[in-house]
Amino acid sequence: MKQQEFEQKVKYFHENMPPQCPILYSMKIIGSKWKIPVMWYLMLNDGQHYNELKRSIGSITNTMLTKSLRELEEDGLLERHSKGTVPPSVTYHLTDTGKNLIYTMGDLFEWGKSLMEKQQ
């Protein structure tokens, strides 16, 4: 990245900044401990059931998985599909907004990866 590109980006940020910072807003939505893992394993295998997802993630508790799913649903990053049967059958699906988020994370993935490699 050139200095000039950076300055253009700064200018763009400045001119397009709404009252509340969109980055902080995004971080609030995806910043809690299990949000990224949930989105991640749903990305790898969309439409997983609750317990399937729980096994994929591994160490998450019911409390936190439920809480994360509810919040992500409320923010429109995923959808909950229930069949309403007994026993229950519920699957979770990324929305376009959710997929866009994952896609958006590509650059941060690269940034973190190169920093990891630099630090060891």
Partner DNA sequence: CGGAATCCTCAACGATACTG
Partner DNA sequence: CAGTATCGTTGAGGATTCCG
- Of a second copy, DNA, none, which one sits near residue 89, judging by CB under 5 to 8 A according to partner kind? DNA
114 binds DNA (CB under 7 A): no
Output the six-digit token pair for 1.
């990245």
SS3 content of the chain, % helix, strand, coil (to 5): 65, 10, 25
Task: Please tell me the count of residues contacting DNA according to CB under 7 A.
Answer: 22
> How is residue 49 annotated by DSSP?
B
CA neighbor of 67 nearest in space, from 99, 32, 101: 32
66 binds a second copy (CB under 8 A): no
Q: Which CB atom, from 82 or from 119, has the smaller least distance to DNA?
A: 82
117: how many CB neighbours lie within 10 A of its CB?
8
Among 4, 38, 44, 62, binds a second copy (CB under 8 A): 44
Among 29, 36, 43, 52, binds DNA (CB under 7 A): 52
Provide long-range contacts, Cβ within 8 A and 24+ apart, for 28-33.
29/71, 29/75, 29/77, 30/101, 32/68, 32/71, 33/64
CB of 51 to a second copy, least distance (A): 22
4 binds a second copy (CB under 8 A): no
66 binds DNA (CB under 7 A): yes
Q: Which residues of this chain interact with DNA, rule CB under 7 A?
A: 32-34, 49-52, 59-64, 66, 69-70, 80, 87-91
